[in-house]
Structure 1
Amino acid sequence: MIFPRVHFKEFMTYGAPPGTLGLATKRGRMNTDCFIQVVRHFIKHTNSSKSNPSLLILDNHESHLSIEAIAACKDNGVTMLTIPPHCTNKLQPLDVGLLKPFQTFYNAALDVWMMNHS
């Protein structure tokens, strides 16, 4: 979880699932420094190693272009696979075919509830 703050405080992840990584950046967006921490967190929690490899699927965000993160992945048996831009609808069909309609109906149900329970 990345928060739009200068400094991360532990209380920010209160109630989050155990093992949640909390980070803070001025804009609340991923950057290269955060990504390195995310990669280390991923390696730790997946027990990735050369004898127990894993796959990390990423978009082409510029923060993912870090020599340190790429080296950490290589040293720990993590294969980084980036998907091309503007192809979510082809490569992630659940986002478009299931989750988007669910979000639409869920938001509509929330609107009806809010109107009835002001």
Structure 2
Amino acid sequence: MKLFIKLKDTIERNNLESRPQIIFNCDESGFQTDVGIQQILCRKGSRNPHKVGGSVTKSTYTVLVYCNAIGDYLPLYVNYKGLHFYSNWCQNGPKDVVYNCSPSGWMESSQFANWLENVFIKHTTKLEGPKLLIFDAHNSHLTIPLIEMACANNIELFCLPAHTSHVLQPLDVRVFKSVKNARRNVLKDYIVILDAKM
């Protein structure tokens, strides 16, 4: 309950009640490069098998999405796994996507700061007044340079409590869940087609 009171106070303090177009939410999620092994591991004769064995060769990349409170989505930010970035990684991708890389493929502090500077600030700089950015409080997000950059660009940072994004994070609950389910089905269909051709 305290979270919603703090959010209400933040919105009122910045006079954003009638300006939902400058209230933003961002979230990222990891995607695997394969669909995983399609085998069920269970004891012989089990009536309700449910565990799916995963692949050990998976590589992760991260997609960061952000939108404002009226539902306008801004350019995606895709972070691949790699020590060096290769231009062929961004061929035939969606328009206006910004690409980067990290050794793990996960969003680390330098990638999040890069997103804030080169995507968020770039696309919101013409909006007058303070901007509110709501995101989860992962330790890779908050650094002193990032906070200083946000302050210098009139961006109020509002962190959701850790380990609550599965319930409170709108992009996690509505967008990424649907996208991942659809993507999983497309990959499974693609693998079936490939197997049939062999």
Same fold (TM over 0.5): yes
Report the more deviating stretch, 52-61 or 75-84. Answer: 52-61
Of the three residues 114, 121, 128, the one matched with 1:43 is 121
Count of residue pairs the alignment pairs up: 117
- Runs of at least 5 residues in structure 2 that lack an aligned partner in the other structure: 1-77
Q: Does 1:5 align with 2:82?
A: yes
Task: Measure, in 1, the Cα distance between the counterparts of 2:191 and 2:87.
Answer: 32
The match for 2:101 among 7, 19, 24 is 24
TM-score by length of 1: 0.73
Question: CA deviation digits over 1:35-93, x for unaligned, max 9?
Answer: 211110210012266x3432222212111121111111111111111111222343136
Structure with greater Cα Rg: 2
Contact 2:134 2:158 in 1 (8 A): yes
CA 1:48/1:84 → structure 2, altered by over 3 Å: closer, same or farther? farther
Task: Assess if the C-alpha contact under 8 Å between 1:48 and 1:78 holds in 2.
Answer: no
Which whole-Å CA distance do the structure 2 matches of 1:86 and 1:107 have between them?
24
- Residue 68 (str. 1) matches residue 145 (str. 2): yes
Identity percentage of aligned residues: 28
- Name the residue aligned to 1:78: 155
In the superposition, relative to structure 1, how do residues 53 and 7 fare at CA in structure 2: closer, same or farther (>3 Å)?
A: same
Does the Cα contact within 8 Å between 1:48 and 1:77 map onto a contact in 2? no
* Contact 1:53-1:79 at 8 Å conserved across structures: yes
Contact kept, 8 Å, 1:54 with 1:78, in 2: the verdict is yes
RMSD over aligned Cα atoms: 3.1
8 A contact 2:166–2:172 mirrored in 1: yes
The one-letter amino acid paired with 2:124 is T
1:54–1:106 Cα change, 3 Å = same
How far apart, CA to CA, are the structure 2 residues paired with 1:92 and 1:22? 23
